[in-house]
A and B are shown apart, each in its own frame.
Chain A
């Protein structure tokens, strides 16, 4: 097996009496898309917060490329190449779409806040805007956009930092079927770029989408990892079917 690009080992998070993550392990292989699924409240977002450093785990480590980043502050992890989107949109609502992306670029390079490498940043932003189809709304204030576009802006913002690992938290929630299809194509395009696109860790409630695009899937339930493997295995895993997919899921997958 290839050395994972990103790994979380033995992560435990408690909120008072509630154990949100219970000795969870997770690996993201370089290149490709890893899925992270589980019912609501399984702890997926919490795991994202642990990986990005927004929440300190009670126990466990996070490794990027083999080195321990558990003690790094969030912004240092970001500069090392960990980027994410948020389930509940966290847009810079007072900035235009373009400035959302530009500020992300500026945050990701040192000296960006003093305007260093501004030209390079604008080029990158232009590139991402056109790839995500955001050009027509580039000058609109992010806070005015509907959810679907907001999710695109968050994706674009993350891409502007040239991440090595991209964590997407329910990127298709709030999108209609057509938008979801568009998003899927985009995702594959972003990852499949020849010039070293990011590896993706995808949290997604749309099981069909996950089965379609992921190379590996990890399943959480009540804070525990109950399965991990390629989609075909996960699809047939009785524990997953019982815990997560339920009756509706079985017919869905079948």
Chain B
């Protein structure tokens, strides 16, 4: 047992470092740093570059990282998030997720995408402890180093002026500023320290697990559960929780290193995250709760011509596109339209109801794998498979939604994140469901007599479903359902005091979203023909959220743009596009998070602005922000007075 405990302490102490860093910035600035894993990975690659490529002494490299790189990164992050201090939780989360994607996509560009083995920063050997127990210097060194860092943080917060100021800000920000504490400086310090911890955690983790682009951020998500244990505000609880988590995982590993227990071991942190969120429930409140609601310009009822225009465009696409597009591009477009169907669920969920989900692709995966299992061998079962996929996705969404939809904003986003990762590990990761790494084939799906083998047939099917779902969603938005969603989004308390049930509304949207995502997933399965678990992973859900944000999360058109962006990754374009495209999306998200109408809306507004300036016809609604004072009798009288 003892060796496992030692391993557990070793792993737990690295988690502790990350948990402390996450809690520190959250409690001082109110920002939950989803990008923590990305930052950790970035720093680990810098370390690799400097030590293993340029052969600098690591005793020079580590100080450089902690004194130069981490503070610069920390200050950049602080500068990004400071203007968002009073923004709605939704915007903060979107930006943080955009940051995560930014780092994940930046690393391959700067350092090349290859994975590396890193040797430990401690000497190679081991020593004996007692008679039977062997402890490597890596384990011992890591443990001691992290303990020293934690102790240093404790002393810093308890014994220095910075610590006093930090506690004042955490206690009551306004009061602290009133008595002359500079909350901005405190925030900067917190970001610098937190990023330093991220750098260390990144290096220590990658000497253990290898330096792999996708693994490291996921490992850092392990630290979310301990952070939530301390309700994101208690450093000691986060620390204890992290060590306990490491111990639990490794003690479990004692019993089995294969099969389900092994999978469970990897899933425990996500399971713990989900369970903790559910148990704490409404007792989790965000440290900054007085936040501006977010509105776009397009969210009051859209004119009818958009509806007609959309339908006309769909018909035109049906007639024209198959004539002008090559067959393989038709196929790509079909796949992109399936993707748009899934994106539409996110428009409703995130854009219209204000709930952030990073699990939509998991529900799509349910549809896809159901389709592959059923219709893979018997193509004519495809319609049944779609229905069955929905029938599985809906109860699953209720299972997740019922306990977690009492949560709001950040905590709901965390719950969907935990769910998505659990699905990845336990469901899509299991060979009997996913068919292993190569996935499952579905090549001969049919709807009645109609074969979906040809790309043109797939194109028509996807176009048809997208049109139906798009039109349906658009139509709902204009009626009572749309109003109900907007109520829940803009002012949940008011909605409840008028008689609307928040839980029912959110649950209905969540379940409907899961159902439609499952349908979209089975369409994806048909177009992709090979259903591969990695297409439905948490990373894909994250990517989906980001392209929807860029497209415009309040707009049906936003989902279409999201599909278009996905199409870019399918088309045979020069590799430089593939290389930089995800990074551009991430950067776009960071800048556009405040614009729920997305890129296109912003572009239109800017164009109008430029035109107005060019032609010297100042249009008040373009040039000025929303008027703040109006005579109570309306604007007609106003213009009358002047005219």
Contact = CB atoms under 8 A, between A and B. Distances in A.
Contacts of A79: 499
A78 B493 CA distance: 12
Interface string B485-505: 011011101111111111001
Given A114-B480, A145-B630, A86 B489 contact: no
B76 interface: no
B490 A99 contact: no
A74 B295 CA distance: 25
B499 A161 contact: yes
Nearest to A139: B300
Contacts of B301: 96, 99
Give the interface centre of A78, A83, A91, A109 by most chain B CB atoms within 10 Å: A78
A52 B483 contact: no
A161 B605 CA distance: 38
B498 A94 contact: no
A94 B489 contact: yes
Contacts of A157: 494, 498
B178 interface: no
A60 interface: no
Contacts of B630: 137, 144-146, 149
Given A83-B497, A94-B295, A161-B499, A106 B480 contact: yes
Contact of A133 (B296, B628, B632, B636): B632
Interface string A79-111: 100111010001111111001001110111100
The main secondary structure of chain A at its interface with chain B is helix
A74 B490 contact: no
A115 interface: yes
Contact of B627 (A54, A74, A84, A144): A144
B499 A75 contact: yes
Nearest to A121: B480
Contacts of B626: 143-144
B490 A107 contact: no
Interface in B457-490: 479-481, 483-484, 486-487, 489-490
Best-buried of B293, B296, B486, B490 by chain A (most CB within 10 Å): B490
A37 B28 CA distance: 36
B497 A113 contact: no
Contact of A106 (B293, B300, B484, B634): B484
A136 B637 CA distance: 10
B633 interface: yes
A179 interface: yes
Nearest to A77: B497
A141 interface: yes
Nearest to A112: B480
Interface in B566-598: none
A75 to B, nearest CB: 5
Given A92-B487, A95-B300, A179 B494 contact: no
Nearest to A135: B634
Contacts of A52: 497
Contacts of A104: 498-499
A148 interface: yes
A73 interface: yes
Contact of B490 (A73, A93, A179): A93
A178 B296 CA distance: 33
Contact of A136 (B295, B627, B628, B633): B633
Contact of B493 (A90, A96, A144): A90
Contact of B632 (A103, A106, A112, A148): A148
B300 A94 contact: yes
A75 B497 CA distance: 6
B489 A54 contact: no
A90 B291 CA distance: 12
Contacts of A54: 493, 496-497
Give the 7 A-B CB pairs with smallest separation, nearest first.
Answer: A136-B634, A90-B494, A103-B483, A78-B499, A74-B496, A107-B500, A90-B491
18 contacts: A54-B493, A73-B496, A75-B500, A77-B497, A91-B490, A92-B490, A95-B490, A96-B300, A102-B480, A103-B483, A103-B484, A107-B500, A115-B479, A118-B480, A133-B633, A136-B636, A143-B626, A149-B630
Given A103-B486, A143-B295, 18 more contacts: A53-B496, A73-B496, A74-B493, A74-B497, A75-B497, A75-B501, A82-B497, A83-B498, A93-B491, A95-B486, A96-B301, A99-B301, A103-B483, A104-B498, A107-B499, A113-B481, A136-B633, A141-B295
Interface of A: 52-54, 73-75, 77-79, 82-84, 86, 90-96, 99, 102-104, 106-109, 112-115, 118, 133, 136-137, 141, 143-146, 148-149, 154, 157-158, 161, 179
Interface of B: 293, 295-296, 299-301, 479-481, 483-484, 486-487, 489-491, 493-502, 505, 626-630, 632-636
